[in-house]
Structure 1
Amino acid sequence: MSDQIQPILSVRDVAKTFTMHLRGGLRLPVVSGAAFTVGAGECVVLGGPSGVGKSSILRMVYGNYAVDGGQILIRDPKSGREADLADGDPREIIALRRDAIAYVSQFLRAIPRVPAIDVVAEPLVSRGTPVEAARARAKELLARLNLPEALFELPPATFSGGEKQRVNIARGFITDHPLLLLDEPTASLDAENRDVVCAMIEAKKAAGTAILGIFHDGEVRDRIATRIVDVSSFSARAAA
């Protein structure tokens, strides 16, 4: 079967509830029965109003949040092997992040004193790419995102919000992982750099990457979305 028939990401009947331990164990349902797929070359956007669980779903797919029920299947397009993130096996999650899932979060969590170019290069280095080759690719991406070259060798802790986000985007885009997660990647960017990121997303789609993202910018969403999944349809809060 083709990649279009067998999706890269399959979310099946996923449920999530938060337990508020500081409020006597109060249980706060987030999503119930979440189900959708993302195929190679698609950019699927999670839609719906604030508070329905879009970011929670993205974090479950990355393995940051545990799942109460259901499956989150990631398929290797080369071997056909599927792994279930919902099992919560830490070794499996680490392996999938290294080899299968790239992620651009809203905020850069950079290690202190590590230069921006090495923050970006690290995902390639961790997969065996020689350091100089990884740094060269990182330099290309940072230049494409219009980060001043004078900042490449500086730690991004003191960068502006937009500069940090460009480092974050370059880090997420540097690999050829089959699945790319995007959490408001253009929120801190000016119009010129939003256009650059949209072009980068379009290139990833053309290369067969499966993309799942959250975009509140309507123009960006209209330009890059293959389809929109309305999270309201399985929001446990909306149903409560």
Structure 2
Amino acid sequence: MSPVLLSVSGVAKSFRMHLRGGVELPVVQGVAFEVAAGECVVLGGPSGVGKSSILRMVYGNYGIDRGIILVHDRDSGAMRDLGAGDPRLVLDLRRSSIAYVSQFLRAVPRVSALDVVAEPMLAAGLGREPAREAARGLLRRLNLPAALHDLPPATFSGGEKQRVNIARGFATGHPVLLLDEPTASLDAENREVVVAMIGEKLAAGTAILGIFHDDVVRERVATRLVDVSHFSARQAA
């Protein structure tokens, strides 16, 4: 049996709407699932049910009201509770253990696409030139024209930005990878590239948690589906 690299149990999240008199809006409750090495677990359910919120909680972008989010720490080999909200632990786990491809690239202005992709490899300890060469290879594989590699992605098209985003997320050997609709802005050729890259990550033992609204892609990469509707606090209210 493959080891569990991500474990979520008893997680609840709500948002306080300060512009509406501090009313509390529940999102999810009782979220519980595990992702083992070599699995691609897909979060399913209708729009607005909390799928992207769960990914952001697992990555530490959103704090949680209660529950436990355990992530395999590649450095120590232990399962660490990212859900406890320790900012240093969140940053350490992002550096070593958990990568995230969001729906939108938020790149620092004036930083080239090549350096955006190389940055997580540099943070993980790879030298500058090997990191840039690996970044260049990923961008070439994703069919981003070489003329764009040294330009900031701010002026790129949506599909070009997403390819930079994907290259950055896939650049390291982090044991856990989060994917939020990675193929949504891509053409058919580049969707095939990403499907192949996901397959390679799974074969290498990466635990993937993702959202895929493209039915064809989802069917090809998912090993298991978790229906987030079961955790919807709004439906339960």
Q: What secondary structure is seen at the aligned counterpart in 2 of 1:8?
A: strand
Inter-partner Cα distance in structure 1 for 2:177 and 2:71: 11
Aligned residue number for residue 32 of structure 1: 29
Structure-2-length-normalised TM-score: 0.98
Q: Say if 2:103 and 2:182, in contact at 8 Å, map to a contact too.
A: yes
1:59 maps to which of 51, 56, 69: 56
Aligned residue number for residue 168 of structure 1: 165
Letter in 1 for 2:91: I
Inter-partner Cα distance in structure 2 for 1:157 and 1:220: 27
Inter-partner Cα distance in structure 1 for 2:234 and 2:155: 38
Letter in 1 for 2:146: E
Aligned residue number for residue 50 of structure 1: 47
1:100 maps to which of 89, 97, 110: 97
1:26-175 pair list within 5 angstroms: 26-76=23-73, 79-175=76-172
Q: Deviations over 1:201-231 (max 9, x none)?
A: 0000000000000000000000000000000
Q: Deviations over 1:88-131 (max 9, x none)?
A: 00000000110001100000000111110000000001111110
Aligned residue number for residue 177 of structure 1: 174
Structure 2 unmatched ranges of 5 or more: none
Letter in 1 for 2:218: R
Letter in 1 for 2:148: L
Aligned residue number for residue 193 of structure 2: 196
1:21 aligns with 2:22: no
Compute the displacement of 1:178 (Å): 0.2
Letter in 2 for 1:85: L
1:210 aligns with 2:207: yes
Compute the displacement of 1:80 (Å): 3.2
RMSD: 1.0
Q: In percent, how many aligned pairs have the same letter?
A: 71
Inter-partner Cα distance in structure 2 for 1:22 and 1:93: 29
Question: How many residues are matched?
Answer: 237
Q: Say if 1:8 and 1:77, in contact at 8 Å, map to a contact too.
A: no
Compute the displacement of 1:76 (Å): 3.0
Compute the displacement of 1:86 (Å): 1.0
Q: Deviations over 1:170-199 (max 9, x none)?
A: 000000000000000000000000010000
Stretches of 4+ moved more than 2 A in 1? 76-80
Compute the displacement of 1:19 (Å): 0.5
Q: Deviations over 1:114-157 (max 9, x none)?
A: 11000000000111111000000001000000000000001110
Structure 1 unmatched ranges of 5 or more: none
Q: Say if 1:41 and 1:209, in contact at 8 Å, map to a contact too.
A: yes
